[in-house]
Structure 1
Amino acid sequence: MTSSFSNLSLAEPLARAVAEMGYESMTPIQAQAIPVVLTGKDVMGAAQTGTGKTAAFSLPLLQRLLKHENASTSPARHPVRALVLLPTRELADQVAQQVKLYAKYTNLRSAVVFGGMDMKPQTLELKKGVEVLVATPGRLLDHIEAKNAVLNQVEYVVLDEADRMLDIGFLPDLQRILSYLPKERTTLLFSATFSPEIKRLANSYLKDPITIEVARPNETASTVEQRFYSVGDDDKRRALKQIVRQRGITQAFVFVNSKLGCARLARSLERDGLKTTALHGDKSQDERLK
């Protein structure tokens, strides 16, 4: 199996976009999933965030949609043919940006819809016609109910971060969305873990899927170095500041277990002269995007 993007028989517009983005070697999930998705088979992939799975499903999916590519301005000539569902607004936005970059030299259109934002601009974009729609489940249902999104020509559906979608309680929404799709379609499901719930979802909605597992459950990506520090509760903040300073860290993500704790820690770091921003569920979508 090849591990170089240049050895994939991608269509010229896609190959050009990929080369421009500096992609050379494929990650394990890409090397295993791309050839399978190109055949049109259903896939159940075990992969964590950060393993390159957006390219693993987007590139072959775009390749297969090129047969529908057209330069017509008529929305009817650009129905939704691929649907990508994600659990959070930020992930949806990130995946949509990647898809736009991969498709930039094609006539395939893509759009993203998620909550926390005004529906009007999203509606205008959907009404113009898009082939690839990236969405969070709740907002997609709003658009389906408003007749802005018609899904009767969908050929591909991707459930990305499926375990997290189930954790957030999206199962009823997912079932409703899938009921609007044609029975004849390709379904790709990606999840960090194959829990019993995920397996049930796969059994209900996937046909003879090819299972691709590139990481053992709960295994950290090989690019990640882990360190563990044992400190008392009262010393955590001091330890964090010391690590940041000693290691000369210029950018860091710090995960905190509550909104209040997050806001307090950000203020404390800010007082110590470290440029800090808090990001949590009580922020508006505009603040989150900023």
Structure 2
Amino acid sequence: MTFNDLNLIPAILKALSKENYTTPTPIQEQAIPAVLAGKDLLGCAQTGTGKTAAFAVPIVQLLSEQQMRPNTGRHIRSLILTPTRELALQIADNIQAYSQYTQLRCSAIVGGVSQRVQERALKQGADIIIATPGRLIDLINQKHIDLKHVKILVLDEADRMLDMGFIHDVKKIITKLPSKRQTLFFSATMPPEISKMVKALLVNPVKVEITPVSSTVDRIKQSIYLVDKENKQKQLNHLLQDKSIVSALVFTRTKHGADRVVRELTAVNIAAQAIHGNKSQNARQSALSNFRSGVTRVLVATDIAARGIDIEELSHVINMNLPNIPETYVHRIGRTGRAGMSGIAISFCEVDEIPYRRDIEKLIGKTIPEVKDHPYPMMSRTQPVKADRPSISAVQKPQKPAKSKANPVRKPKSEWFKKGSKAGSKTSR
């Protein structure tokens, strides 16, 4: 099958040809006809499956075919909600590419940058907005955005929005939308809260499931190193001496951890930059641009910031820490092995993370091969047992000094407030 077989309009086919799109991916092949038919859609797919085009291409066509009333101005007719700035900007870039031969306008509404530019874009008019929940709510409250004309809603990476605590914001936004609309819902996993949302939002949806939520891409070669926590950085430095690691996306658990890894790599002359929530949007975009162009060999990221990183030729993903949520591991390693290419995923596992390894292997249904021949093997695979606190009877109780009129025992000042007035009780706090 080709895109010519999907009943797309000439303007879109011309744009896809210019962008070197030839054959639709499985999710595009199944989703595009359903969306063009006006159906609600539930898409279960991992990153790297081509799902952005699966919803963006038919949205561009549907909105292009709808005649706008003369002298009514341009209204927001499609809203796409995403969890991160990077993903929102990536989707905006894709939609601009797909709609380049139409009259449609799209705009990204994200935090981390001045909202004045976004206000100006909204005043000029936008048919499609791609937004993160926080900034969108801000602009709605400031009366800069009106969603009453939205005909198509897309919730992308819904499970990640749940992980990031955005679900309540998403529910608030949905109350601002017309009840009669087309809803497209995408999630790599289906935890109970997401399943409830699906039942509440979708009407007789077409379900498109490309890969099981627990699966990992078969093209990705996985391995794991058992290494003590204090030696992880040394192990990373050692691995990166291998020049065949052309580009590496390194995951850390925390923002400070990401900055620390960058400092250590820079100290040994390995070009690295960090991307996380504490970085400005300009700094994040600069780091991504340098990584894509090869100026930076290593990009160090937290899970949240990594959503939206779409690099077809990423050779390696390295986990400095195993995630405690098995599905997060699937998301991480899915950053490599994209667009039909192979990829390599390497994980470091300290003793406290051994249970996480078992959970991950149970989810993906396979054992991650262990690399044993390396310079920093784990010294002990047994988790340290914390010493029990001694019982009260085992501790000799201190003798209280005897009371006497000559030497009364005074209570400490902290005790004075316990039996005082309510005002006194507040003071003690």
**Could you say which TM-score interval applies, normalised by the shorter chain?**
over 0.9
- What is the DSSP-based 3-state SS (H/G/I as helix, E as strand, rest coil) of the residue aligned with 2:222? coil
| Cα drift, residue 250 of structure 1 | 2.2
Mapping of residues 237-248 of structure 1, within 5 Å: 237-248=233-244
State the TM-score, normalized to the length of structure 1. 0.93
Q: One-letter code of the match for 1:49? A: T
CA radius of gyration, larger in: 2
1:93 aligns with 2:89: yes
Aligned counterpart, 1:215? 211
- What is the DSSP-based 3-state SS (H/G/I as helix, E as strand, rest coil) of the residue aligned with 1:226? strand
2-side partners of 1:246 and 1:6: how far apart?
A: 44
2-side partners of 1:169 and 1:234: how far apart?
A: 32
User: Would you say the 8 A contact 1:79–1:131 is kept in 2?
Assistant: yes
Match of 2:145 among 149, 164, 180: 149
Q: One-letter code of the match for 1:282? A: N
- What is the aligned residue count? 286
- What is the DSSP-based 3-state SS (H/G/I as helix, E as strand, rest coil) of the residue aligned with 2:198? helix
1:42-96 Cα shifts (integer Å, max 9, x gaps):
11111122211100000011111112367x8x6x432111100000111111111
Mapping of residues 89-238 of structure 1, within 5 Å: 89-238=85-234
Q: One-letter code of the match for 1:11? A: I
- What is the DSSP-based 3-state SS (H/G/I as helix, E as strand, rest coil) of the residue aligned with 1:60? helix
Aligned counterpart, 2:427? none
User: Would you say the 8 A contact 1:37–1:43 is kept in 2?
Assistant: yes
Q: One-letter code of the match for 1:168? A: M
| Cα drift, residue 284 of structure 1 | 2.1
1:277 aligns with 2:273: yes
Relative distance call for 1:227 and 1:69 in structure 2 (3 A) is farther
Aligned counterpart, 2:25? 27
Q: One-letter code of the match for 2:104? A: L
2-side partners of 1:222 and 1:126: how far apart?
A: 43
- What is the DSSP-based 3-state SS (H/G/I as helix, E as strand, rest coil) of the residue aligned with 1:79? coil
Instruction: Choose between structure 1 and 2 for higher RCO, CA contacts under 8 A separated by at least 6 residues.
Output: 1
1:120-145 Cα shifts (integer Å, max 9, x gaps):
11011011111111000111111112
Aligned counterpart, 2:60? 62
Match of 2:40 among 39, 42, 56: 42
User: Would you say the 8 A contact 2:78–2:129 is kept in 1?
Assistant: yes
- What is the DSSP-based 3-state SS (H/G/I as helix, E as strand, rest coil) of the residue aligned with 2:160? helix
User: Would you say the 8 A contact 2:28–2:54 is kept in 1?
Assistant: yes
1:97-126 Cα shifts (integer Å, max 9, x gaps):
111111111100000001111111101101
1-side partners of 2:144 and 2:67: how far apart?
A: 21
- What is the DSSP-based 3-state SS (H/G/I as helix, E as strand, rest coil) of the residue aligned with 2:247? coil
- What is the DSSP-based 3-state SS (H/G/I as helix, E as strand, rest coil) of the residue aligned with 1:228? strand
User: Would you say the 8 A contact 2:113–2:280 is kept in 1?
Assistant: no
Q: One-letter code of the match for 1:85? A: L
User: Would you say the 8 A contact 2:40–2:204 is kept in 1?
Assistant: yes
Match of 2:10 among 9, 12, 24: 12
1-side partners of 2:268 and 2:214: how far apart?
A: 35
1:84 aligns with 2:56: no
Match of 2:252 among 245, 251, 256: 256
CA RMSD, Structure 1 to Structure 2 (Å): 1.7
1:215-272 Cα shifts (integer Å, max 9, x gaps):
1112123443322222232332232223223252222110011222211111111111
Gap regions ≥5 residues in structure 2? 287-429
2-side partners of 1:64 and 1:118: how far apart?
A: 31
